[in-house]
């Protein structure tokens, strides 16, 4: 019974099983490659960073003061060069997220339009940025070009926009009022004036609060210094007293030896006296 032969598997069945295993392994490899590609594409290395909340919050009030004084709106737009979605950041004197272009509240406007491109490490192309200054229809192309060229005087070059796009675009926005004045678009912003009728705030007291607020610390420090000086003085006095006693003892021994020599007695320290 143990020597009975098992029935042989048909050749067609073996072939179909091998094909099934081959396609299963191939599908798993392809799926793994697709997943790896998706994960790497979402790594964020090519994402252009937008301005931080603090950068936007610091920029809007500056633009508001300039717009109220000069009668023209100022804003910024930051975009990913390769993205066709909404801009990464938009802001103006009207607030964060509010654009000045085609805004009824801004018949005259100037804005910085920055488009930054980050390429992947495997690409031979380098990162680059395109910075344009656009404005309303009443502003000439030469005036906008002059403002655009003035950005480089403030160090806002293409390299700076590539290194830190968020900071660069908000920094460029706050320079627009000055550059617009230089281009002859508007008058200089009004200098804040001091109300003559306002009562000036009293000056702070000239006396320092150092002693009044920290007298306990100074008193403790003075006590420690006094105690240290006292201990040093006592130590010196005891040391001098010890040295004086040792000198007196040496003098007394010398006198006894001299008296013994005069009396003809051998010196206790000589070999004959031992």
pLDDT of residue 39: 43
Look at residue 11 and tell me if it is in a domain: no
Find which of 32-41, 161-170, 231-240 is predicted with most confidence, using mean pLDDT.
Answer: 161-170
Give the end of a domain, one of 125, 160, 182: 182
What domain range is 109 assigned to?
A: 53-182
Within-domain flag for 195: no
The reply to whether 8 falls in a domain is no
Count the domains in the chain: 2
Q: Quick one: 113 and 222 in the same domain?
A: no
| Whether the predicted pLDDT of 160 surpasses 80 | yes
pLDDT digits (tens, 9 = 90+) for 1-22: 445 555 554 545 545 565 555 5
28 within some domain: no
Could you give the CA distance from residue 122 to residue 125 in angstroms, rounded to a whole number? 9
pLDDT at residue 130 above 60?
yes
**Domain annotation covers residue 202:** no
pLDDT band at 262 (very low <50, low <70, confident <90, very high): confident
End-of-domain residue from the set 126, 160, 182: 182
> In this structure, is residue 57 part of a structural domain?
yes
Residues 171 and 220 in one domain: no
Average pLDDT, integer, range 192-201: 51
In a domain, 9, yes or no: no
Residues 148 and 64 placed together within one structural domain of the fold: yes
* pLDDT-derived band at 40, boundaries 50, 70, 90: very low
Does residue 85 lie in a domain region?
yes
Left (φ > 0), alpha (ψ -120 to 50) or beta: where does 135 sit? beta
Hey, CA dihedral for 27, 33, 38, 39, is it positive or negative?
positive
pLDDT digits (tens, 9 = 90+) for 46-96: 688 999 999 999 999 999 999 999 999 999 999 999 888 889 999 999 999
pLDDT value at 205 more than 70? no
Residue 143 has pLDDT above 70, yes or no: yes
Average pLDDT of the residues of the chain: 78
Residues 263, 168 within the same domain? no
Q: For residues 81 and 131, give the distance between their C-alpha atoms in angstroms, rounded to a whole number.
A: 11
Q: Based on the domain organization, do 118 and 234 belong to the same domain?
A: no
Mean pLDDT across 126-151: 94
Sign for the CA dihedral angle at 22, 27, 30, 32 comes to: negative
């Amino acid at each position: 019974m143990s020597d009975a032969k098992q029935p042989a598997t048909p050749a067609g069945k073996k072939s179909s099983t091998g094909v099934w295993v081959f396609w299963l392994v191939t599908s798993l490899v392809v799926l793994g490659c697709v997943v790896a590609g998706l994960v790497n594409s979402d790594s964020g290395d090519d994402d252009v960073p937008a301005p931080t909340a603090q950068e936007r919050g610091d920029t809007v009030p500056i633009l508001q003061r300039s717009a109220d004084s000069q009668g023209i709106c100022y804003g910024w737009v930051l975009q990913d060069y390769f993205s066709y979605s909404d801009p990464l950041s938009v802001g103006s004197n009207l607030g964060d997220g509010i654009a000045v272009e085609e805004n009824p509240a801004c018949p005259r406007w100037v804005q910085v339009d920055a488009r930054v491109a980050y390429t992947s490490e495997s690409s031979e192309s380098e990162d680059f940025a395109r910075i344009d200054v656009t404005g309303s229809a009443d502003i000439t192309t030469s005036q906008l070009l002059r403002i655009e060229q003035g950005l480089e005087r403030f160090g806002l070059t293409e390299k700076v926009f590539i290194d830190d796009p968020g900071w660069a675009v908000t920094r460029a926005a706050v320079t627009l009022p000055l550059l617009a004045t230089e281009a002859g678009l508007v008058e200089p912003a009004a200098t804040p004036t001091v109300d003559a009728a306002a009562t000036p705030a009293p000056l702070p007291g000239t006396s320092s609060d150092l002693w009044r607020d920290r007298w306990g610390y100074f008193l403790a420090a003075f006590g420690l210094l006094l105690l240290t000086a006292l201990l040093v003085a006592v130590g010196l006095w005891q040391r001098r007293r010890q040295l004086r006693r040792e000198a007196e003892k040496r003098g007394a021994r010398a006198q006894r030896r001299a008296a013994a020599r005069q009396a003809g007695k051998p010196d206790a320290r000589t070999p004959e006296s031992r």
